[in-house]
């Protein structure tokens, strides 16, 4: 029982949703899956890069606990005369400043020559596979209300919503097809936010003595910084949304090896695990559609992807993502029946009706503080018809940008007038017919 003079430790802060998914901190080096030699080499490389640093900073940089794991490693390196201590507060070993000896610098350069990775300690491949399976998108379910709320910023018919919901819940591949500018990419981007729950992914994975870098700040959105209760080699992130377009090649779907650092970079689909991978403008890639789908036959069937490392070793990793193809072409013009069977859900995103177009225009005007007149949608539709152009969902957004730019140029307030709508249409729509088009009447 505590007395008046004893101080009890404050309770740890409650876990947030992102932290619940994170593994607890390893208690021993064995629990990390890493060998003492590997951690020693990684420490030497870090010290070589930094010049000198404290034990606490080494722990922070390598994302490994100091007392239970790094202190014994540092003691070993000091005993081998590879590292020496230059100073620090005697009562606080975390503040000791460590620096390489000449012998330690030579060992560090040898380690860098074998593998130039310097950063958070990696996790093992089995640990990565287990974690991806534990946070699988296959366990997620969304309701009709969830879908309507997530897509409320878009104007979509009920038919499209009723088709999208089952496709998302299936966790399988989706083929979104339809004319350009109908919102296919916007729909796909919204899907990642619909996938509930937070996930964690590692900074890097160790396979043998080789490194695969997984965490990508340009692709992943970190949520919280883990404290000492957790294994900080993992990063809590939002479920990823990874988008690739016409730049995609077959080589991009395998591990990319950097000869200078001897480090592999995970491919797009591996970085998208637990989230959404959008192949935008499918059919415009430098690789033919059938080549890309041939590459994905096994992953689509078995939820496992096979990657090749620089030394020729084959590894299998989870293929646990919602794969979305968005294209302006019809599915049958891109791939044959066998491939279409593997792409489970085919959903057509059609051009907006007149009523839907008018509603999109109303919302865009509200966003831009432009007074809305229903007649404006009719003017735009009439102008587009004279040029042989079908209305698209993206037109109101683009046209109001043109209208705003024209108003600023003319020194007028941005409002829907016959003059400004005419000028916006003239600079936006281009048809095959060059004949002059009469301007719309004023409201």
Q: Options 3.40.50.300, 3.30.9.10, 3.20.20.140, 3.40.640.10; which CATH number does 126-348 get?
A: 3.40.50.300
Tell me where in the chain the CATH 1.10.8 domain(s) lie: 354-428
Q: How do 345-348 and 199-202 pair as beta strands?
A: unpaired
Nearest to 131 by CA among 44, 24, 244, 39: 24
How far, in whole angstroms, is CA 47 from its chain's centroid?
A: 32
Q: How far apart are CA 385 and CA 378, in angstroms?
A: 10
SS3 109: helix
Q: What is the dihedral of CA 107, 108, 114, 119, to 10 degrees?
A: 150
Work out the end-to-end distance of the chain between its first and last CA atoms, rounded to an integer number of angstroms: 82
Tell me where in the chain the CATH 1.10.10.10 domain(s) lie: 35-119
Query: What are the CA-CA distances from residue 67 to residues 31, 88, 111, 351 (Å)?
Result: 15, 16, 24, 62
Residue 301 has what pLDDT?
Answer: 81
Positions in the chain short of pLDDT 70: 1-20, 88-93, 139-140, 431-443
* Residue whose tokens read 């279409």: 340
- Residue 369 class from Cβ within 10 Å (0-12 exposed, 13-18 middle, 19+ buried)? exposed
Residue 87 has what pLDDT?
Answer: 72
Nearest to 234 by CA among 256, 260, 257, 215: 215
Q: Options 1.10.10.10, 3.30.70.2080, 1.10.132.20, 3.90.45.10; which CATH number does 35-119 get?
A: 1.10.10.10
Identify whether the C-beta of residue 182 lies closer than 8 Å to the C-beta of residue 393: yes
Q: How far apart are CA 396 and CA 364, in angstroms?
A: 7
Q: For 354-428, which CATH class?
A: mainly alpha
Identify whether the C-beta of residue 244 lies closer than 8 Å to the C-beta of residue 289: no
Identify whether the C-beta of residue 320 lies closer than 8 Å to the C-beta of residue 273: yes
Backbone angles phi, psi at 244, to 5 degrees: -130, 150
Residue 10 has what pLDDT?
Answer: 45
Residue 6 has what pLDDT?
Answer: 32
Nearest to 347 by CA among 215, 209, 105, 157: 157
Tell me where in the chain the CATH 3.40.50.300 domain(s) lie: 126-348
Task: Give tens-digit pLDDT for 301-360.
Answer: 888 999 999 988 999 999 999 899 998 888 778 777 777 777 888 999 999 999 999 999
DSSP 179: S
Residue 120 has what pLDDT?
Answer: 97
Query: What are the CA-CA distances from residue 220 to residues 171, 275, 333, 355 (Å)?
Result: 20, 10, 34, 38
């Amino acid at each position: 029982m505590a007395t008046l003079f004893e101080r009890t430790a404050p309770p740890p802060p409650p876990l947030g949703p992102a932290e619940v998914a994170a593994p607890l901190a390893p208690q021993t080096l064995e629990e990390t899956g890493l060998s003492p030699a590997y951690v020693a080499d990684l420490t030497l490389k870090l010290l070589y890069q930094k010049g000198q640093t404290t034990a606490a900073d080494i722990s922070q940089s390598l994302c490994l606990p100091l007392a239970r794991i790094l202190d014994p490693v540092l003691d070993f390196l000091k005993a081998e005369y590879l590292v020496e201590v230059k100073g620090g507060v005697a009562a606080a070993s975390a503040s000791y400043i460590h620096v390489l000896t000449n012998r330690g610098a030579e060992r560090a350069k040898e380690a860098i020559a074998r593998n130039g990775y310097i950063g958070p300690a990696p996790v093992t491949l089995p640990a990565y596979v287990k974690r991806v399976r534990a946070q699988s998108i296959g366990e997620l379910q969304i309701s009709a209300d969830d879908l309507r709320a997530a897509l409320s910023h878009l104007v979509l018919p009920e038919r499209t919503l009723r088709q999208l919901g089952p496709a998302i819940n299936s966790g399988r591949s989706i083929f979104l097809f339809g004319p350009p500018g109908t919102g296919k990419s916007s729909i796909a981007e919204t899907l990642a936010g619909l996938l509930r729950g937070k996930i964690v992914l590692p900074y890097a994975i160790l396979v043998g003595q080789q490194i695969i870098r997984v965490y990508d700040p340009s692709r992943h959105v970190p949520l919280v910084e883990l404290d000492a209760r957790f294994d900080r080699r993992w990063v809590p992130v939002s479920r990823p949304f990874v988008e690739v377009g016409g730049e995609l090649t077959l080589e991009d779907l395998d591990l990319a090896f950097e000869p200078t650092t001897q480090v592999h970079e995970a491919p797009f689909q591996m970085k998208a695990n637990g989230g959404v991978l959008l192949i935008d403008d499918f059919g415009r890639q430098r690789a033919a559609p059938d080549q890309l789908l041939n590459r994905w036959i096994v992953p689509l069937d078995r939820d496992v992807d096979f990657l090749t490392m620089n030394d020729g070793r084959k590894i299998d990793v989870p293929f646990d993502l919602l794969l979305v193809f968005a294209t302006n072409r019809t599915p049958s013009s891109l791939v044959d029946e066998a491939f279409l069977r593997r792409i489970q859900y085919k959903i057509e995103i059609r051009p907006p009706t007149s009523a839907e177009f008018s509603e999109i225009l109303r919302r865009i005007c509200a966003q831009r503080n432009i007074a809305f007149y229903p007649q404006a949608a009719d003017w735009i539709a009439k102008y587009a018809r004279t040029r042989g152009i079908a209305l698209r969902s993206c037109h109101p957004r683009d046209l109001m940008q043109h209208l705003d730019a024209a108003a600023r140029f003319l020194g007028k307030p941005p409002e829907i007038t016959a003059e400004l709508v005419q000028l916006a249409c003239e600079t936006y729509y281009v048809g095959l017919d060059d004949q002059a088009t009469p301007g719309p009447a004023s409201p």
